[in-house]
Amino acid sequence: MARNPLTREEVLEAAASLVRRHGPAALTMRGLAADLGTAVTSIYWHVGNRESLLDALVERTVQEMGAVRPVGRTPAARILSVARILRRELRGRPHLIAMVHERGLTERMFLPAQQALVHEVHAAGLRGARAADAVRAIQFQIVGFLLVERNRERSPAQSPAEGDLWDPATAPDDPALARALSRPADPERLFLLSVRALTEALLARPGD
Amino acid sequence: MARNPLTREEVLEAAASLVRRHGPAALTMRGLAADLGTAVTSIYWHVGNRESLLDALVERTVQEMGAVRPVGRTPAARILSVARILRRELRGRPHLIAMVHERGLTERMFLPAQQALVHEVHAAGLRGARAADAVRAIQFQIVGFLLVERNRERSPAQSPAEGDLWDPATAPDDPALARALSRPADPERLFLLSVRALTEALLARPGD
DNA sequence: ACCTGAACACCGTTCAAGT
DNA sequence: ACCTGAACACCGTTCAAGT
């Protein structure tokens, strides 16, 4: 029955794996103890309580999102690459990202990306308060889009579906638009299109 | 001890009030029963169980978000007014909106707004797939921004704070930018600025 | 320093019984 | 048709006791 002494790291690892696979609701202290083959109360010795266990998982996730390396020739292209990188990272950890969001740490998670954006906006020639606005607008745009997209994926069958509302009868004067809106959106395309449009408007804007 | 017979509507009202004030975690079946002065089990007769009670609250919220009346002279102005209206509505029900989001119904909640956006984009001269893209990009932008903003508000003291990262030592070549980023963002200003910039880029873009 | 089982207060839910 | 209390299985957490 002897087993290596339990470590905090083991607890976190098992908990993270549980959350990754089945979401935070599936993480019960008793279930986790069963997974680890220890008494429930041992876990408390290592991580305090459930709340601080979740905090630790969130903290881990925030750290993991730290690396952002923009690529591309122009500032606009490099900004777009930041968007692309963030999208990929986010989509790999849906439950953990949701937990970061619930805890109000979404912004902190994106600070490294913000630094990258500052650099690019600066390279594009923006300065001062105008540069700050551009950085924040793009940051909000990227993060916001990804939150909406995640929601859409997890979403149950929608009723009424977008399609039901946009059949030709509702918009008789533009069947192509009705058709486009009744098809599911391609999120990646829409994402890149949106970031590109916003970036263009923000970088092009001259001083007033 | 006689009291009017409990109704489903009463249960929903009491539950909604509880959630509005203290969030969904504060809604326990036993606590709700105590508020209503009935046995816990009566509630089950009226609403099934906790899950479907929450579903009903969410459904209510989605319905309440139905009315959108754009105002303004130009399509761009009217789109901005839609954004403004949505922002106000959302901010009045933070907990309920979070629940809508958790249930993956954010999109459905915004269908009326989508219809309004279609109308405006159409008035601005966009047609077909291009119009559909513009509508969706703006919709994602608005919804996403509001989700991020809500997160920021609920957020605990951030460490490191934005300010810590953007002190003059970090960005020595643009003190005005460092200063701007170390001040808290003004969300309303940033929101309107972002929507305006994106709308401008999307409406101005000619066919290719 | 680390682990354990027993116990506590709290959940949501079911059910048989009442009127 | 509507309400009730008792009971069940499940939580997170504490604590005194072990090694």
Size of chain B, expressed as the number of residues it contains: 208
What are the residue ranges spanned by the domains of chain B? 8-57, 66-203
Cβ B29 to strand C below 7 Å:
yes
Chain B residues close to A193, C-beta within 8 Å: 133, 137
Q: What is the pLDDT of residue B183?
A: 84
- Classify domain B66-203 at the CATH topology level: Tetracycline Repressor; domain 2 (1.10.357)
CB atoms within 10 A of CB A82: 25
Distance CA A7 to C1' C4 in A: 17
Listed as ranges, the nucleotides of chain C within 7 A of a protein C-beta are: 2-6, 10-16
Q: What is the pLDDT of residue B150?
A: 85
Task: Please write the tens of the pLDDT for every residue from A33-89.
Answer: 999 999 999 999 999 999 999 999 999 999 988 888 999 999 999 999 999 999 999
- Classify domain A8-57 at the CATH topology level: Arc Repressor Mutant, subunit A (1.10.10)
Task: Please write the tens of the pLDDT for every residue from A128-151.
Answer: 999 999 999 999 999 999 988 988
Tell me what the pLDDT averaged over chain A comes to.
Answer: 88
Rounded CA separation B132/A181 (Å):
6
Per-residue pLDDT of chain B (208 residues; tens, 9 = 90+): 335 789 999 999 999 999 999 999 999 999 999 999 999 999 999 999 999 999 999 999 999 888 889 999 999 999 999 999 999 998 888 899 889 988 888 888 998 999 999 999 999 999 999 999 999 999 999 999 998 898 887 766 555 566 556 655 556 578 888 888 888 889 999 999 999 999 999 998 564 4
Phi/psi at A73 (5° precision)? -90, -50
Angle, alpha carbons A92-A93-A95 (nearest 5°): 145
Q: What is the pLDDT of residue B44?
A: 97
Among positive and negative, which fits the CA dihedral A80, B182, B94, B151?
positive
B 35-74: CB within 7 Å of strand D: 38-42, 45-46
Distance CA A17 to C1' D14 in A: 27
* Percent of chain A's residues with pLDDT above 70: 88
Tell me if the pTM is above 0.85: yes
Rounded CA separation A38/A33 (Å):
5
